[in-house]
Amino acid sequence: MRIKLGVNIDHVATQREARKGVDPDPVLAARACWEAGADMIVCHLRRDRRHVQDDDVLRLRKQSKLPLHLEMSSSVEMVKLALKLKPQSVCLVPERSGELTTEGGLAVSDGDKVLRKAIADLKKAGIEVSLFVEPTADAVRAAKKLDADTVELCTTAYATASIPAKVKAELEALQLAVYLAKEMGLNVHAGHALDYHNARPVAEIPGVETLNIGFAIISRAMFVGLKTAVAEMKKTITS
């Protein structure tokens, strides 16, 4: 199976919001990503609207040639917006006020009524639903019981490990979580803190279908351009 690359363009909007102007435009960034070989555009519409705005999502949905994967919380407000904007897929993620970035996977349980309703409402509208979870058996099983279509496994612990033994242990945890998810009939994505140096081992795990990567690509783009940065990442995870 050819692994796919989802490119998160949040930090294009972060730069724009620094001046509250119109440039750089996330829609133009999405087009450049598509031309460079990206398979999906990813963006996180946060409750505080620190980077991506509602209009960005609307324009990405209407103008981009790539499938749009919307990251968001499971709040009533966000679910209503997603039902209105209708991205091809949604990833429900945890959010904490003041966090610099998403700090880990959802604390999922099959008794979570808020998550269950959000998933049901989104799926009823024909939107594929993913849950951003830690690579543990309990999290994967809960995602299945909540009727998610996909799990996106949080790779932060793996990507930030500095001791070889810890890197190996975290990679093995990802491998086991992927195996379990596939046994349960779930689609599998992975992402967070992945870069040009550590993404390949995750891409090589049998059953991982998509890697969602943003910060590393946008950072690299400052020096080589966005199309080159995307193409380099695509080569990193597929060759």
pLDDT tens digits along 220-238: 999 999 999 999 999 999 9
Average pLDDT over residues 200-213: 98
List the beta bridge partners of residue 7: 41, 213
Comparing 72-86, 93-107, 169-183, which segment has the lowest mean pLDDT?
A: 93-107
Closest CA to 127 of 67, 201, 177: 67
pLDDT of residue 215: 96
pLDDT of residue 98: 66
Average pLDDT score, the chain: 94
What's the whole-model pTM score?
0.94
pLDDT of residue 103: 56
pLDDT of residue 237: 98
200 has pLDDT over 70: yes
Bond before 135 cis per omega within 30 degrees: no
Closest CA to 175 of 213, 214, 136, 119: 136
DSSP assignment of 175-198, as one string? HHHHHHHHHTT-EEEEESS--TTT
Q: Catalytic residue numbers?
A: 44, 71, 192
pLDDT of residue 66: 81
Average pLDDT over residues 66-73: 93
Contact (Cβ atoms closer than 8 angstroms) between residue 210 and residue 4 = yes
